[in-house]
Amino acid sequence: MTEQSARHVANALMGAAAIGVAVTILRKPALRRMATGLIVAAVTSGIPTWLGREVRHAWYATGDHPGTRGGL
Residue 67 is predicted with a pLDDT of: 58
What does the longest C-alpha to C-alpha distance in the chain come to? 69
Confidence of residue 72 (pLDDT cuts 50, 70, 90): very low
Residue 63 has pLDDT above 70, yes or no: yes
What single-letter DSSP state applies at residue 36?
A: H
Angle between helix 29-61 and 3-27 (nearest 10) = 120
Alpha-carbon distance 51 to 53, whole Å? 5
More confident residue, 65 or 32: 32
| Helices and strands: H and E segment counts in the chain | 2, 0
Instruction: Please compute the mean of the pLDDT values over residues 12-17 and round it to a whole number.
Output: 97
Confidence of residue 48 (pLDDT cuts 50, 70, 90): confident
